Chain A
Amino acid sequence: MVTKNEFYAIFEMLFWPLVTLISVGLLGEFLYLSKNEIAFIIIGVIALSVVHIVQIDVTYVMLLDMWSMSLKYIIVSPMPFYRMVLGAWLFGAVRGVVSLSLLIILSSAIFNFSFELPFSSALIFAIGLFASAMLIGIFNCILILIFGRRAEIFAWTLTAIVMIFCGIYYPVTILPEPFRTFGLLIPITHFLEYFRSFYGFSPTLENPLVIGIGETVIYLLVLLITAELSMKRARKTGLVLKLSG
């Protein structure tokens, strides 16, 4: 409801993903990449776009209320933080599905990308991506609750930082240590490797899906507890009042 009237929310969902898809796809054609190599990088583009859209909706839990200086009204309501996140995530997931579908259709039409996952695997991949996006969104909210407006910039940069380490356009095996290990601690790495395994690329670790889901569940619990503690801290230090204008 908060974002549905915002033009930029629609723009964010359609414009940037399309620009990225077309430019990266054309780069692949220019470099005479094979069909599977183009698929490799297109999966990266799709993941990056979808994760960004969903995480930004979760981050908006704090960001929009902070911008409109109305955070106190959310805080004073009896709704717990995890429900705010869940609501925003569900809305983000709807936007994510729209963007994901659009990107798959266009990449298939423009770059002959064939979507080779069975429906159940595709669903698990999408849920995995959306859940990973939720983690980034909650992490952004925590940063805002700790550092205030100074952390605003992370809403747009954190996805990109995470994507460097999780192998968006390359396998994590090419990363030097300790970045390679760091990459393997990011659930998106495993969801990407799971998707790419359908295109003939072997995952770094066996059972990428199980590892990805396991990491997601652990991080989600840790982040939700940290978010509650950060909120409590922000109420003690007075930061919430500053963020409310």
Chain B
Amino acid sequence: MKAVECKNVWMIYRNFMEKSVTALRGVSLDIETGEIFGILGPNGAGKTTLISVLSTILIPTKGDVRILGMDAFKNTKKVRELINISSGVRLPWGMKVYECLRFYALCYGITDRSIIEKLIADFELEEYRNTRFDDLSAGNKQKLNLARAFLNSPEVVFLDEPTANLDPDIARKIREMILQIIDRNDTTVILTTHNMREAEMLCERIAFIRDGKIIAEGTAEELKKFIKANERIIVRFKEPVKSLPISVPYELNGNSAIFYVDNAEKATPKIVLELSNAGIEVESVKMEEITLEDVFIELSENY
């Protein structure tokens, strides 16, 4: 059974006295159970709208959404018992950590306090249990929101930028916590992120969304093929250059250039020789593998 099936979903925001905005344009997706699925895209691409539709917060203008085999908008109550979402770090400011989890647990009809205790321990919030939400650090606010998202042991959880605006060490810790919990519960995760390393590290498959459309979908390796090269060579020149007499695809930026090649080790001597023959003095050469970030930039700019 698929965790999420979404067919030709359109979302048009129409608000009182405001211009309508089309946020999703015919999005179709299939996500397997137990999968960690990433949704990447630039700001305003429709990521948050998409997971809001998939999590039943929004009702799409058109299209079908099935969660765990059920129509999300005909069996909404049943679907909501099996899913949860963490989006942003906002929670009622006056509630203390324990109270907050207890409040949301009650919204799911959960009265077993040991579930709350376990999540407080899992997310290392023990010493803050009596701290008001407003007085928590950004990292602990995010931990609390994630703990809240796992209260009902969801079969499908939607995480909207779970490590946004966090220090790298805290972000790493939070990623580890998420992985531990989803491994234990075999949870399907749909994650949006701006962090390419995070997407590459966590996600089994990734969809790129731009202007409300899915423009590419696949594993990180499959997506890297969009660049049509495996590696890149970054060459820094002693002086700015206006053009290069080289047949390899490149991007020129003043006194540096990036060459996209399949085998950097083989291509580098040839490129350096051609540059030298053209009278261009090379200061340094660096070889790198293509990353998801390159794909992100390529897809964001050219598709």
Contacts and interface: CB of A to CB of B under 8 A. Distances in A.
Interface of A: 1-3, 5-6, 64-65, 68-70, 72-80, 146-148, 232, 235-242, 244-245
B103 A2 contact: yes
Interface residues of B, number: 40
B226 interface: no
Nearest to A83: B107
B23 A73 contact: no
A225 B14 CA distance: 22
B303 interface: no
A242 B104 CA distance: 21
B268 interface: no
A240 B92 contact: no
Chain B at the A interface: mostly helix, strand, loop or mixed? mixed
B52 A72 contact: yes
Given A78-B78, A244-B90, 11 more contacts: A2-B94, A2-B95, A6-B94, A78-B81, A146-B16, A238-B23, A240-B57, A241-B48, A241-B57, A242-B15, A244-B57
Contact of B107 (A64, A77, A147, A237): A77
10 contacts: A1-B95, A64-B92, A70-B90, A76-B84, A76-B85, A77-B108, A236-B61, A238-B13, A238-B14, A238-B49
B99 interface: yes
B64 to A, nearest CB: 15
A80 B109 CA distance: 11
Interface in B52-95: 52, 55-59, 61, 77-78, 80-81, 83-85, 87-88, 90-95
A75 B58 CA distance: 10
B85 A72 contact: yes
Name, among A2, A78, A232, A235, the residue most crowded by chain B CB atoms within 10 Å (CB to CB): A78
Given A1-B95, A69-B90, A245-B88, A76 B59 contact: no
B233 interface: no
A242 B102 CA distance: 26
